[in-house]
C-alpha cells in the first residue's frame, strides 16, 4: 500500500457543471452496456433513477451502478476501458456494475486530456487511482456516520460497505447521496499490486457492443439537426497556393449552398507547434449532402500559383521557434540524392565517447551500412472530419482529435471568441497514429460554420486526407562499427538525418555499451509538412539500428541475441557516459524473455528467424519473427513472438491486442509503406496506389508476453512498433540471403547488372 497525497483527487472534486446541476444528476436513457451483478434481466434495464456525482470522474446511482468518465480521448488504444479500470479498482466496485462514458473536454477539471506519446496510462496511473480511493473513503465515512462506528472498522468489496462487528452492510448506492456531503480526504491509501482485483485482469472493450452493431460513435457519424456537409480543396502540391477560383458551375449544381475561400489562421494568431499546416487557404463547398458536395468539388475551376520562401514564428512548448518554409516543387528522387550528399559530409556531433575515429583507423574489422525510408501517410481509416456549430453565443464543435487543448486556442482566435465560448466534444476516433494531434480541420469546420451561419460537418475525402501533409519524414542513416581481433565491438558510429528533421537519439543503446561512440546528425529543410507518426524517429532508427547490429553480430561470428546481451552486460556493469536513457537490465530482460518464449536457437527447416529489441516511450520491446516462403516463393511472417516490459499491465488482453496491431503495422510499413513525391505532389492519393498491409500478408500467429513486475505502468501504443522493421529485415535476410537497406522492402531490389 502507498500513501498518496490527494492533489489530483481534490482537483477532480471540482464538480463539472457540464455533467450535473447542483451535484445531482437525473438518470435518463444511458446505454446499458454492462450488466450489474445479482440483478434480474428486468432490473438490468432499469437505470438508476438518480445519479450522485461523487467527483467529476464518477457518479453512483441509487441502485449501485457507477458511471466512470474516461478523461482521455479514445482512438483504439483502449483507454476507455483501462482508465476506468484504474478508478474502479480503488473504488472497490464490481466491474460489471460500471458504465463508461467519455469525459467532456475541460482541462481545468481533467488535466491533460491528450492521447499520444504512449503517455496516457503512465500519466494517469496515480491520479485515477486516487480519484477512486478518495470516493471510496467518502463512501466509508458516510456509512460510518450513519452507523455511528469508526471509519477504520468499515471494509469495502464489490460496491458493498461492511461493518463486520455489527453485521451492517450498505450498498454504495445507498450512501452515495450522503457521501457527496463528506469532505474530500487530504490523503488516501492506494492498494499494492498484490491487492488488485480489476487491474491486471483482462476486461473486454467497453464499447465493443456499440462497435459491432454499428452505432454512431465516430466524428464522421455525428448527427445534428439541420447540419450541412462541407468539403475543402487544398493545393494539389506542396509549394503551391491558391491564386483564384471560379465557382460558377459548382454553385449551380443541385444541393449546393455556397462556395467560398477560408483562411485557417487569424492574422494575429501565433501558431503552436501542432499548428503544422502547409495549406491555410482553402476553397470550400457547402451543400446538403455528401455526394452533392463531392460532385461540386470536382467541378471547381481553381488556379494555383507557386509560393515564395516564407517564415513564421511558432510557440514550441513555451519557446519561440522560427519555422522557415522554402519554395519549390520537391521530388523524392531529389530528396534521396540530397540525403546521400549530406550523409557523405560531416554532420553535427551530438555525442562522442572515447576516440571513435582513432579506433576505426586501427580496428581489425570495420563495417559500414546505409539505410533509407520514405515519407509515410498516417492513413487513419476515418478520414479527417469535424462538426461545428458557431453562433453569436459561442461555438460547439465535435469530432476526432487527440488533444483538444492543442487546437482550442486556434479555434477561438480564428472565430474571434474567447476559449470559454468554445465547447469541444471528443468523439471516438477511427485511428489516430499521431495525425489527429494536428487538428487544423476543427478550425476549418468552425470557420465554415461561421461563414454559412449553420451547423456543418466538414469531411475530408480519402484523397484530401492522404495529400494534406503532416507525414512521417523521409530518413537516411549510416552506421559504422569496429571490431577488435577478438570480435569485440570497440567503436560505433551513427550518422543520420532526414527531410526535414533528424531522427537521431544520441543517448540510446548502444550508447553506453561501447567505449568509443559517436552520434552525428544533419537535416535538410522542406515545404512538405511532417508530424508525429506512431513512435516518431524511433520508427526508423529502431529498425535500421537493429538490422545493422544483426550484421555486426554476424561479422563477429556471434549469435545476435548473445551479442546484444554482451553489450547490455557492459552497459549494466560499467556504462560508458552518464546520459544513457535506457535501463540496460530491462532491455536485456525482454531479450531474454523473447529468447525463451520463441525457443530461439531451435533450427526449424524452412523457417527463417530474425530478432530485434528496442526501448522507446518508456517501454521495452523485443520481437522474434519467423518468415516462411510460400509456394510461389513469397516470404511471409508465419509467427511472431513478442516480449514487452511496460511495468504493470493494466488490461492484459487489450494490451496484447495493441502489441499485435503494432507488429502487423510494423510488417506492413516495412514491406509496403511509402509516399513518394513528384513536382511537389504525392504520387499516391488513395489505397489503389498506397499499399496498406492486408489479411493475407499479415503474420499468421502472434504471441505476446509481458515481463511480470510491479513497476508503475508505461504505454504500449508506440513501443511494440519500431523494432518490427529490424526483426523483419533480419528474418528476410535469412530467407533470401540478401540484406535489405531501403524501405519499403517490396521495392528494395538489387541493381540490375547488364
Partner 1 sequence: MATFNLNINGKVKQVDVDPATPILWVLRDHLQLVGTKYGCGIAQCGACTVHLDGTATRSCMLTVSMVGNSEITTIEGLSEDGSHPVQKAWMEVDVPQCGYRQAGQIMTASALLDKNPNPSDEEIEMAMNGNICRCGTYTRIKKAVKLAANS
Residue 379 touches partner 1, criterion: CB under 8 A = yes
Residue 48 or 720 with smaller CB distance to partner 1: 720
> What is the edge-to-edge ordering of all strands in the sheet holding 365-373?
348-353, 516-523, 489-499, 474-483, 365-373
Rounded to a whole number of angstroms, the minimum distance from the CB of residue 654 to partner 1 is: 7
Cβ atoms 378, 692 nearer than 8 A: no
> What is the edge-to-edge ordering of all strands in the sheet holding 160-163?
154-157, 160-163, 168-171
Residue 49 or 298 with smaller CB distance to partner 1: 298
Q: For 430-477, give the DSSP string.
A: S--TTGGGS-HHHHHHHHHHHHHTS-EEEE--HHHHHHS--BBPEEEE
Residue 589 or 668 with smaller CB distance to partner 1: 668
Residue 277 or 684 with smaller CB distance to partner 1: 684
Rounded to a whole number of angstroms, the minimum distance from the CB of residue 460 to partner 1 is: 10
> Which string of x and - marks every residue 76-105 that binds partner 1 (by CB under 8 A)?
xxx---------------------------
Task: Write phi, then psi, for 709 (nearest 5 degrees).
Answer: -155, 180
Rounded to a whole number of angstroms, the minimum distance from the CB of residue 697 to partner 1 is: 9
Residue 212 or 753 with smaller CB distance to partner 1: 212
- Which residue from 207, 408, 520, 566 is in contact with partner 1, where contact means CB under 8 A? 207
At 241, list the grid cell.
497556393
Ranges assigned E (strand) in 130-213: 154-157, 160-163, 168-171, 187-190
Residue 35 touches partner 1, criterion: CB under 8 A = no
Binders of partner 1 in range 114-133 (CB under 8 A): none
Separation of alpha carbons 712 and 215, rounded Å: 35
Rounded to a whole number of angstroms, the minimum distance from the CB of residue 381 to partner 1 is: 5
Separation of alpha carbons 495 and 505, rounded Å: 10
Separation of alpha carbons 614 and 568, rounded Å: 12
Between the alpha carbon of residue 718 and those of residues 204, 446, 597, 721, the distances in Å are: 21, 31, 22, 6
- What's the gap between Cα 599 and its chain centre? 31
Separation of alpha carbons 100 and 85, rounded Å: 10
- Which residue from 47, 156, 661, 742 is in contact with partner 1, where contact means CB under 8 A? 661
Rounded to a whole number of angstroms, the minimum distance from the CB of residue 215 to partner 1 is: 7
Residue 658 touches partner 1, criterion: CB under 8 A = yes
* Among the residue ranges 19-27, 269-277, 491-499, 659-667, the one whose residues contact partner 1 (CB under 8 A): 659-667
Binders of partner 1 in range 274-293 (CB under 8 A): 289-292
* Among the residue ranges 16-24, 522-530, 556-564, 664-672, the one whose residues contact partner 1 (CB under 8 A): 664-672
Q: Which residues of 1-38 are buried (b: 16+ CB within 10 A; e: fewer)?
A: eeebebebbebbbebbeebbeebebebeeeeeebebee
Residue 209 touches partner 1, criterion: CB under 8 A = yes
Residue 578 touches partner 1, criterion: CB under 8 A = no
> Which string of x and - marks every residue 690-719 that binds partner 1 (by CB under 8 A)?
--xxxxx-xxxxx-----------------
Q: In the 8-state DSSP scheme, what is residue 419? A: G
Separation of alpha carbons 278 and 498, rounded Å: 19
Residue 291 or 310 with smaller CB distance to partner 1: 291
Rounded to a whole number of angstroms, the minimum distance from the CB of residue 136 to partner 1 is: 28
* Among the residue ranges 191-199, 232-240, 261-269, 689-697, the one whose residues contact partner 1 (CB under 8 A): 689-697
Among the listed residues 637, 718, 701, 375, the one whose alpha carbon sits nearest the alpha carbon of residue 528: 375
Residue 547 or 702 with smaller CB distance to partner 1: 702
Residue 382 touches partner 1, criterion: CB under 8 A = yes
* Among the residue ranges 154-162, 474-482, 589-597, 686-694, the one whose residues contact partner 1 (CB under 8 A): 686-694
Rounded to a whole number of angstroms, the minimum distance from the CB of residue 706 to partner 1 is: 17
Q: Any bridge partners for residue 169, and if so which? A: 162
**Angle at the Cα of 32 (from 29 to 38), degrees rounded to 5?**
125
Residue 394 touches partner 1, criterion: CB under 8 A = no
Separation of alpha carbons 318 and 162, rounded Å: 51
Task: Write phi, then psi, for 65 (nearest 5 degrees).
Answer: -70, 145
Residue 14 or 211 with smaller CB distance to partner 1: 211
Residue 208 touches partner 1, criterion: CB under 8 A = yes
**Angle at the Cα of 216 (from 102 to 421), degrees rounded to 5?**
50
Residue 254 touches partner 1, criterion: CB under 8 A = yes
Separation of alpha carbons 677 and 256, rounded Å: 33
Q: In the 8-state DSSP scheme, what is residue 375? A: B
Residue 226 touches partner 1, criterion: CB under 8 A = no
Residue 396 or 436 with smaller CB distance to partner 1: 436
- Which residue from 32, 574, 579, 686 is in contact with partner 1, where contact means CB under 8 A? 686
Q: Binding-site residue total for partner 1 (CB under 8 A)?
A: 64
* Among the residue ranges 111-119, 200-208, 276-284, 490-498, the one whose residues contact partner 1 (CB under 8 A): 200-208
The 3 state secondary structure assigned to 208-252 is HHHHHCCCCCEHHHCCCCCCEEEEEECCCCCCEEEEEEECHHHHH
Residue 380 touches partner 1, criterion: CB under 8 A = yes
Rounded to a whole number of angstroms, the minimum distance from the CB of residue 463 to partner 1 is: 8
> Which string of x and - marks every residue 288-327 that binds partner 1 (by CB under 8 A)?
-xxxx-----------------------------------
Residue 448 touches partner 1, criterion: CB under 8 A = no
**Angle, nearest 10°, between helix axes 172-179 and 120-147?**
90
Helix-strand-coil split of the chain, %, nearest 5: 30, 30, 40
At 690, list the grid cell.
498506397
Residue 213 touches partner 1, criterion: CB under 8 A = yes
Q: Any bridge partners for residue 366, and if so which? A: 482
- Which residue from 150, 214, 633, 751 is in contact with partner 1, where contact means CB under 8 A? 214
- Which residue from 503, 589, 662, 719 is in contact with partner 1, where contact means CB under 8 A? 662
Question: 149: exposed, middle or buried (C-beta count within 10 Å: 0-12, 13-18, 19+)?
Answer: middle
Residue 381 touches partner 1, criterion: CB under 8 A = yes
Residue 626 touches partner 1, criterion: CB under 8 A = no
Rounded to a whole number of angstroms, the minimum distance from the CB of residue 635 to partner 1 is: 16
Residue 18 or 254 with smaller CB distance to partner 1: 254
Separation of alpha carbons 446 and 394, rounded Å: 10
Rounded to a whole number of angstroms, the minimum distance from the CB of residue 677 to partner 1 is: 21
Element (H, E) at 286: strand 281-287
Among the listed residues 626, 619, 513, 493, the one whose alpha carbon sits nearest the alpha carbon of residue 565: 513
Rounded to a whole number of angstroms, the minimum distance from the CB of residue 592 to partner 1 is: 25
Cell numbers 510488417: residue: 667
- Which residue from 197, 352, 462, 739 is in contact with partner 1, where contact means CB under 8 A? 462
* Binding region for partner 1 (CB under 8 A): 75-78, 204-205, 207-209, 211-218, 220-221, 223, 229, 254, 289-292, 379-383, 428-433, 459, 461-462, 653-654, 657-658, 660-665, 668, 686-688, 692-696, 698-702
Amino acid at each position: 500500500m502507498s500513501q498518496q497525497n490527494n492533489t489530483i483527487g481534490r482537483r477532480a472534486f471540482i464538480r463539472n457543471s457540464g455533467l450535473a446541476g447542483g451535484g445531482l444528476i437525473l438518470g435518463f436513457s444511458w446505454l446499458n452496456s454492462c450488466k450489474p451483478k445479482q440483478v434480474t434481466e428486468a432490473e438490468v434495464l432499469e437505470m438508476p433513477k438518480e445519479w450522485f456525482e461523487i467527483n467529476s470522474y464518477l457518479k453512483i446511482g441509487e441502485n449501485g451502478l457507477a458511471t466512470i468518465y474516461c478523461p482521455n480521448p479514445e482512438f483504439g488504444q483502449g483507454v476507455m476501458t483501462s482508465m476506468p479500470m484504474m478508478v474502479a479498482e480503488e473504488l472497490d466496485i464490481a466491474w460489471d456494475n460500471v458504465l463508461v462514458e467519455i469525459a467532456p473536454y475541460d482541462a481545468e477539471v481533467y488535466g491533460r486530456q491528450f492521447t499520444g506519446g504512449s503517455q496516457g496510462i503512465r500519466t494517469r496511473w496515480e491520479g485515477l487511482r486516487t480519484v477512486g480511493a478518495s470516493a471510496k473513503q467518502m463512501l466509508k465515512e458516510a456509512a460510518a456516520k450513519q452507523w455511528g462506528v469508526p471509519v477504520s472498522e468499515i471494509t469495502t468489496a464489490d460496491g458493498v460497505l461492511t461493518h463486520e462487528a455489527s453485521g451492517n452492510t450498505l450498498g454504495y448506492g445507498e450512501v452515495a447521496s450522503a457521501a457527496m456531503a463528506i469532505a474530500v480526504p487530504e490523503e488516501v491509501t492506494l492498494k499494492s499490486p498484490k491487492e488488485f482485483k480489476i487491474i491486471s485482469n483482462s476486461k473486454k472493450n467497453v464499447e465493443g457492443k456499440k462497435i459491432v452493431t454499428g452505432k454512431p460513435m465516430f466524428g464522421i457519424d455525428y448527427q445534428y439537426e439541420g447540419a450541412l456537409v462541407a468539403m475543402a480543396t487544398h493545393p494539389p502540391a506542396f509549394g503551391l497556393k491558391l491564386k483564384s477560383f471560379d465557382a460558377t458551375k459548382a454553385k449551380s449544381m443541385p444541393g449546393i449552398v455556397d462556395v467560398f475561400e477560408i483562411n485557417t489562421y487569424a492574422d494575429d494568431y501565433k501558431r503552436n507547434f501542432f499548428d503544422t499546416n502547409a495549406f491555410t487557404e482553402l476553397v470550400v463547398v457547402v451543400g446538403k449532402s455528401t455526394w452533392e458536395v463531392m460532385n461540386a468539388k470536382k467541378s471547381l475551376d481553381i488556379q494555383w500559383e507557386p509560393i515564395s520562401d516564407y517564415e513564421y514564428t511558432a510557440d514550441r512548448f513555451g519557446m519561440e521557434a522560427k519555422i522557415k518554409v522554402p519554395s519549390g516543387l520537391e521530388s523524392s528522387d531529389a530528396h534521396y540524392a540530397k540525403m546521400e550528399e549530406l550523409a557523405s559530409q560531416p554532420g553535427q556531433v551530438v555525442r562522442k565517447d572515447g576516440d571513435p575515429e582513432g579506433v576505426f583507423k586501427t580496428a581489425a574489422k570495420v563495417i559500414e551500412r546505409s539505410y533509407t525510408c520514405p515519407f509515410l501517410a498516417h492513413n487513419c481509416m476515418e478520414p479527417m472530419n469535424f462538426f461545428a456549430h458557431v453562433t453569436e453565443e459561442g461555438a460547439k464543435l465535435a469530432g476526432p482529435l487527440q488533444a483538444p487543448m492543442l487546437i482550442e486556442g486556434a479555434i477561438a482566435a480564428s472565430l474571434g471568441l474567447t476559449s470559454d465560448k468554445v465547447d469541444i466534444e471528443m468523439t471516438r476516433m477511427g485511428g489516430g497514429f499521431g495525425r489527429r494531434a494536428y487538428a487544423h480541420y476543427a478550425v476549418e469546420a468552425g470557420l465554415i460554420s461561421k461563414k454559412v451561419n449553420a451547423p456543418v460537418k466538414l469531411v475530408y475525402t480519402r484523397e484530401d486526407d492522404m495529400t494534406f501533409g503532416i507525414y512521417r519524414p523521409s530518413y537516411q542513416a549510416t552506421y559504422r562499427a569496429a571490431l577488435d581481433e577478438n570480435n569485440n565491438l570497440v567503436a560505433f558510429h551513427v550518422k543520420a538525418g532526414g527531410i526535414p528533421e533528424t531522427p537521431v537519439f544520441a543517448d540510446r543503446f548502444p550508447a553506453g555499451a561501447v567505449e568509443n561512440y559517436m552520434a552525428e546528425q544533419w537535416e535538410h529543410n522542406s515545404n512538405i509538412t511532417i508530424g508525429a507518426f506512431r513512435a516518431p524517429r524511433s520508427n526508423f532508427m529502431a529498425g535500421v539500428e537493429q538490422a545493422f547490429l544483426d550484421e555486426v553480430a554476424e561479422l563477429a561470428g556471434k549469435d545476435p541475441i548473445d551479442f546484444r546481451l554482451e553489450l547490455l552486460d557492459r552497459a549494466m556493469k560499467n556504462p560508458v557516459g552518464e546520459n544513457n536513457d535506457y535501463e540496460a537490465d530491462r532491455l536485456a530482460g525482454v531479450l531474454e524473455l523473447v529468447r525463451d518464449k520463441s525457443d530461439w536457437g531451435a533450427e526449424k527447416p524452412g523457417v527463417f528467424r530474425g530478432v530485434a529489441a528496442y526501448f522507446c516511450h518508456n517501454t521495452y520491446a523485443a520481437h522474434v519473427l519467423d518468415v516462411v516462403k510460400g509456394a510461389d516463393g513469397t516470404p511471409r511472417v508465419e509467427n511472431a513472438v513478442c516480449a514487452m516490459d511496460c511495468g504493470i499491465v493494466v488490461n492484459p488482453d487489450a494490451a496484447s491486442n495493441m502489441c499485435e496491431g503494432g507488429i502487423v503495422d510494423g510488417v506492413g510499413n516495412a514491406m509496403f509503406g511509402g509516399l513518394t513525391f513528384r513536382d511537389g505532389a504525392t504520387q499516391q492519393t488513395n489505397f489503389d496506389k498506397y499499399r496498406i498491409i492486408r489479411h493475407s500478408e499479415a503474420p499468421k500467429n502472434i504471441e505476446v508476453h509481458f515481463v511480470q513486475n510491479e513497476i508503475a505502468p508505461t504505454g504500449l501504443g508506440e513501443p511494440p512498433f519500431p523494432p518490427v522493421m529490424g526483426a523483419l529485415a533480419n528474418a528476410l535476410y535469412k530467407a533470401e540471403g540478401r540484406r535489405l537497406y531501403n524501405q519499403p522492402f517490396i521495392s528494395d531490389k538489387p541493381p540490375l547488372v547488364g
